[in-house]
Amino acid sequence: DVYKREGIMWVLLSGIFVFLYFKNEFILLAFLRLRKQDLPGADKWLNKISNPASALTKKQQGYFNYLKGIMLSQTNMNEAEKYFKTALNFGLSMDYDLAMLKLNLAGIAFSKRRKQEAMKLLSEAQKLDKRGMLNEQIKMMKQQMKKASIPNQHYGGHRQQRPSRRR
Instruction: Let me know: does 90 contact 121? Beta carbons within 8 Å.
Output: no
Residue 84, pLDDT score: 92
In this predicted model, what pLDDT tens digit does every residue of 87-108 receive, in sequence order? 999 988 888 889 989 999 998 9
Distance CA 90, CA 92 (A): 7
Tell me: pLDDT of 22 over 50: no
SS3 (DSSP) at 134: coil
Residue 120, pLDDT score: 92
Phi, psi (degrees; rounded to nearest 5) at 68: -60, -40
In this predicted model, what pLDDT tens digit does every residue of 104-150 receive, in sequence order? 999 899 888 888 898 999 889 888 888 888 888 888 888 888 887 66
Burial of residue 50, with CB atoms counted within 10 A of its CB: 0-12 exposed, 13-18 middle, 19 or more buried = exposed
What single-letter DSSP state applies at residue 48? T
Tell me: pLDDT of 39 over 80: yes
In this predicted model, what pLDDT tens digit does every residue of 44-64 receive, in sequence order? 988 888 888 887 888 888 989
